[in-house]
């Protein structure tokens, strides 16, 4: 069963709706980009997809469960944030381990799996680096490792290169898609062609409505 | 845990967060320690004052009742009291006329005929009753040059050993009397009864009935005007006994405030599958470690300061202070994670954008 939005409309308070009547279906092993101008509602749409925000109208379903209202099974969804949001005083390894704890990994296996994931995103040897001392690109790669390490069905990436320069963005974009486990779908809200260009499907939000580009 | 996070992982995460944020943990330890330590110290100091007050109160006869009646009292009834479990000592006296010591002709002393336990009521340093020989108050012994264990010969009577006792603190009139212990028969002018502290108030009310059919009235040996309040009542009514409430509330507010500063961290945990229950456990583990640490350090500090400035506290004082401090600690542990819960119930989407 795919992750699906049906008739989703969302408004903040008395403001005009940011999203209007959105229908979207995302299946397994896909890569989907949601693009649009700043303030167009990309992050709002992603937050609704991931259950961090309840839509004013409409439903989000995953395996017949209402996302954001029912507890999804562990490993259903994971996140890459624009603001990265690592635990600053914890090590890179400990931050990646969050993604494993989320799916109930046995404590003895966490360290090995997290180390392997850090290797996969090109940060081998940086396991004990404190997150607040990492560069922006390194931190976002840790964020991607954290999101992917538990092999979630869906990774929701909100402007994953939004705070990075061009060359670092290329590395991060490469890592996000190359380290993606088989079967994991990435839905990225982005205005970065580096990310959008790597997705099989692209949608644009214009005036609150979703338009398929390809 | 059903949300994917194992309980052990949640606990480790809490401990790792504490270890990784040494400065934050240190600030909280100092803050909570200051609060709990001040409370502990206040309790110790007050208990110390009350203990001294109680000692003076007891020495002055704070738990002693005096019974008398218009027709005197039955000596057997008075003597019977000295065997009751809630009575420390009980004894009575009646006038026995004037006497002259053979060693000091021309100087008259009052002789009081007493039951043997009266010496324990009037001088609490005595641990056993005195049923033989004479008992001399300090003033009488001084005038007659008597020493404890010496002998006294009254005019016209044979010599008898003397026990010297300091009777004045509880009965100043007895200081210059020669007490003559006799078997508890006949009538007494007064019966003095020292109760155990918890039994005193009820005992005072009950005493007249004990002496029935004699018409008896019981009163306190020490007037309330002299001491104002019974030290036990002072202890029970001390304002610090509620100190755990404000200290607990302020401590919990500190932890909650700190948790609110960490709301983006809370949102990360929520986004990565930690449910509110897990979040509560995580913050409670942190609170337990911090509060226990501050409780141990600050209580040790308070006791050390008290030992240096006032003296080594006894077990009762320590128990009293630790009980109040522990109640404050419990409030902090229970209410401290509320801030984290509050942050956890907020929209993660919003919180994640806050730094």
Q: What is the pLDDT of residues A75-132, one digit of tens each?
A: 899 999 988 899 999 999 999 999 999 999 888 889 999 999 999 999 999 999 999 9
Listed range (B15-19, B110-114, B177-181, B233-237) with the worst mean pLDDT: B233-237
Q: Is the pLDDT of residue B3 over 70?
A: no
Tell me the sheet residues that pair with A130: A91
Q: A-chain residues within 8 Å CB-CB of B4?
A: 74-75, 101-104
What is the per-residue pLDDT for B32? 93
Chain A, nearest residue to B8 by Cα: A107
Beta-carbon separation of B272 and A103 below 8 A: no
Q: What is the pLDDT of residues A178-204, one digit of tens each?
A: 989 999 999 999 989 999 999 999 999
N- to C-terminal Cα separation, chain A: 22
CB of A89 less than 8 A from some CB of B: yes
CB of B308 less than 8 A from some CB of A: no
State both tokens at A168: 């670092």
Q: Is the pLDDT of residue B112 over 60?
A: yes
Listed range (A126-135, B4-13, B220-229) with the worst mean pLDDT: B220-229
Tally Cβ neighbours within 10 Å of residue B316. Answer: 11
Beta-carbon separation of B6 and A107 below 8 A: yes
A131 Cβ contact list (under 8 Å, min separation 6): A86, A87, A88, A89, A90, A91, A92, A95, A139, A142
Residues of B (20-39) whose Cβ lies below 8 Å from A: 20-21
Q: A-chain residues within 8 Å CB-CB of B23?
A: none
B35 Cβ contact list (under 8 Å, min separation 6): B247, B250, B251, B294, B328
Q: What is the pLDDT of residues A143-180, one digit of tens each?
A: 999 999 999 999 999 999 988 888 889 998 999 999 89
Nearest to A85 among B6, B20, B268 (CB): B268
CB of A61 less than 8 A from some CB of B: no
B27 Cβ contact list (under 8 Å, min separation 6): none
What is the per-residue pLDDT for B343? 85
What is the per-residue pLDDT for B311? 83
Q: What is the pLDDT of residues B301-316, one digit of tens each?
A: 888 888 898 888 888 8
Q: What is the mean pLDDT of chain A?
A: 92
Q: What is the pLDDT of residues B267-307, one digit of tens each?
A: 899 889 898 899 999 999 999 999 999 999 988 888 888 88
What is the per-residue pLDDT for B235? 78
Beta-carbon separation of A102 and B352 below 8 A: no
Burial class of residue A188 (count of CB atoms within 10 Å of its CB; 0-12, 13-18, 19+): buried
Q: Is the pLDDT of residue B349 over 80?
A: no
- Sheet of A154-158: strand order equals A77-80, A154-158, A185-189, A31-35, A201-206, A209-212
- Select, from the ranges A7-11, B136-140, B175-179, the one with the highest average predicted confidence (pLDDT): A7-11
CB of A154 less than 8 A from some CB of B: no
Nearest to B272 among A47, A102, A104 (CB): A102
User: Residue with structure tokens 């100190």?
Assistant: B243
What is the per-residue pLDDT for B48? 83
CA distance A79 to chain B (A): 7
Q: Is the pLDDT of residue B218 over 50?
A: yes
Tell me the sheet residues that pair with A26: A3
Q: A-chain residues within 8 Å CB-CB of B9?
A: 101, 107
Q: Which of B3, B4, B265 to mutate to test the interface with A (most CBs of A within 10 A)?
A: B4
Q: What is the mean pLDDT of residues B102-123?
A: 89
Q: What is the pLDDT of residues B321-336, one digit of tens each?
A: 899 999 999 999 999 9
Nearest to A85 among B9, B264, B273 (CB): B264
What is the per-residue pLDDT for B2? 42
Distance between CA atoms of A57 and A55, rounded to whole angstroms? Answer: 5
Q: What is the mean pLDDT of chain B?
A: 88
CB of B15 less than 8 A from some CB of A: no
Q: What is the pLDDT of residues A37-70, one digit of tens each?
A: 988 999 999 999 988 888 999 999 998 899 988 8
Q: Are A184 and A29 in contact (CB under 8 A)?
A: yes
What is the per-residue pLDDT for B227? 59
Q: Are B174 and B137 in contact (CB under 8 A)?
A: yes
CB of B16 less than 8 A from some CB of A: yes
Residue B207: pLDDT band with limits 50, 70, 90: very high
Closest CA to A194 of A140, A149, A150, A142: A140
Chain A, nearest residue to B24 by Cα: A89
Distance between CA atoms of B282 and A183, rounded to whole angstroms? Answer: 32
Q: Dihedral angle at the C-alpha atoms of B29, B30, B36, B39, nearest 10 degrees?
A: 180
Q: Are A154 and A183 in contact (CB under 8 A)?
A: no
CB of B286 less than 8 A from some CB of A: no
CA distance B264 to chain A (A): 7
Q: How many contacts does A have with B, using Cβ atoms within 8 A?
A: 72
CB of A76 less than 8 A from some CB of B: no
Q: What is the pLDDT of residues B23-45, one digit of tens each?
A: 999 999 999 999 999 999 888 88
A23 Cβ contact list (under 8 Å, min separation 6): A4, A5, A6, A7, A8, A210
Residue B51: pLDDT band with limits 50, 70, 90: confident
What is the per-residue pLDDT for B78? 94
Helix or strand or coil: residue A21?
Answer: strand
Question: Long-range contacts of range B319-324, CB-CB < 8 Å, 24 or more positions apart?
Answer: B320/B43, B320/B44, B320/B47, B320/B235, B321/B39, B321/B40, B321/B41, B321/B43, B321/B44, B321/B47, B322/B40, B324/B39, B324/B40, B324/B43, B324/B240, B324/B241, B324/B243, B324/B244
Q: Is the pLDDT of residue B169 over 50?
A: yes
Q: Which of B12, B273, B278 to mutate to test the interface with A (most CBs of A within 10 A)?
A: B273
Residue B191: pLDDT band with limits 50, 70, 90: very high
Distance between CA atoms of B283 and B340, rounded to whole angstroms? Answer: 7
Q: What is the mean pLDDT of residues A7-34?
A: 94
What is the per-residue pLDDT for B354? 60
Q: Is the pLDDT of residue A214 over 80?
A: no
Chain A, nearest residue to B6 by Cα: A104
Residues of A (109-138) whose Cβ lies below 8 Å from B: 130
């Amino acid at each position: 069963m795919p992750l699906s939005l049906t008739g989703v409309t969302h408004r903040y308070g008395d403001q005009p709706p940011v999203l209007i009547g959105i229908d979207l279906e995302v299946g397994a092993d896909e890569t989907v980009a949601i693009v649009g101008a700043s303030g167009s509602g990309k992050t709002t749409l992603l937050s609704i997809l991931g259950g961090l925000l309840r839509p004013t109208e409409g439903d989000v379903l995953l395996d017949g469960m209402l996302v954001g209202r029912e507890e999804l099974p562990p490993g259903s969804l994971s996140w890459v944030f624009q603001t990265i949001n690592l635990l600053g005083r914890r090590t890179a390894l400990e931050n990646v381990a969050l993604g494993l704890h989320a799916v109930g990994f046995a404590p003895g296996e966490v360290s090995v799996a997290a180390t392997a994931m850090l290797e996969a995103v090109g940060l081998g040897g940086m396991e004990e680096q404190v997150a607040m001392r990492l560069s922006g690109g390194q931190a976002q790669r840790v964020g991607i490792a954290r999101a992917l390490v538990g092999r979630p069905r869906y990774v929701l990436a909100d402007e994953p290169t939004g705070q990075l320069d061009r060359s670092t963005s290329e590395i991060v974009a490469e890592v996000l898609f190359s380290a993606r486990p088989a079967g994991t779908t990435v839905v990225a809200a982005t205005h970065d062609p580096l990310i959008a260009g790597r997705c099989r499907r692209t949608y644009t939000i214009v005036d609150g409505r979703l338009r398929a580009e390809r | 845990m059903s949300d994917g996070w194992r309980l052990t992982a949640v606990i480790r995460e809490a401990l790792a967060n504490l270890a990784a944020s040494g400065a934050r943990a240190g600030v909280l330890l100092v803050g909570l320690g200051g609060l709990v330590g001040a409370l502990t110290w206040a309790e110790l100091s007050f208990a110390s004052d009350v203990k001294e007050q109680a000692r003076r109160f007891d020495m002055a006869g704070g738990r002693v009742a005096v019974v008398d009646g218009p027709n005197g009292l039955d000596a057997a009834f008075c003597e019977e009291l000295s065997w009751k479990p809630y009575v420390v000592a009980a004894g009575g006296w009646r006038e026995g006329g004037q006497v002259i010591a053979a060693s000091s002709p021309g100087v008259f002393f009052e002789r009081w005929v007493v039951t043997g336990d009266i010496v324990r009521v009037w001088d609490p340093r005595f641990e056993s009753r005195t049923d033989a020989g004479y008992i001399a108050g300090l003033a009488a012994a001084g005038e007659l040059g008597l020493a404890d264990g010496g002998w006294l010969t009254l005019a016209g009577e044979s010599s008898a050993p003397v026990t010297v006792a300091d009777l004045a603190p509880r009965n100043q009139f007895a200081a210059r009397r020669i007490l003559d212990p006799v078997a508890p028969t006949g009538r007494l002018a007064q019966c003095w009864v020292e109760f155990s502290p918890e039994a005193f108030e009820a005992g005072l009310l009950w005493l007249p009935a004990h002496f029935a059919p004699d018409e008896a009235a019981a009163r306190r040996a020490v007037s309330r005007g002299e001491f104002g309040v019974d030290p036990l009542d002072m202890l029970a009514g001390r304002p610090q006994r509620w100190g755990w409430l404000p200290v607990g509330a302020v401590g919990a507010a500190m932890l909650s405030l700190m948790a609110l500063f960490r709301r983006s961290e809370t949102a990360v945990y929520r986004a990565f599958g930690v449910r509110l229950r897990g979040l509560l456990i995580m913050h409670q583990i942190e609170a337990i470690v911090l509060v226990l640490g501050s409780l141990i350090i600050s209580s040790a500090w308070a006791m050390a300061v008290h030992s240096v400035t006032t003296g080594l506290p006894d077990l009762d004082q320590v128990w009293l202070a630790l009980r109040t401090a522990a109640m404050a600690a419990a409030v902090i542990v229970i209410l401290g994670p509320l801030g984290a819960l509050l942050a956890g119930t907020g929209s993660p989407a919003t919180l994640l954008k806050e730094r």
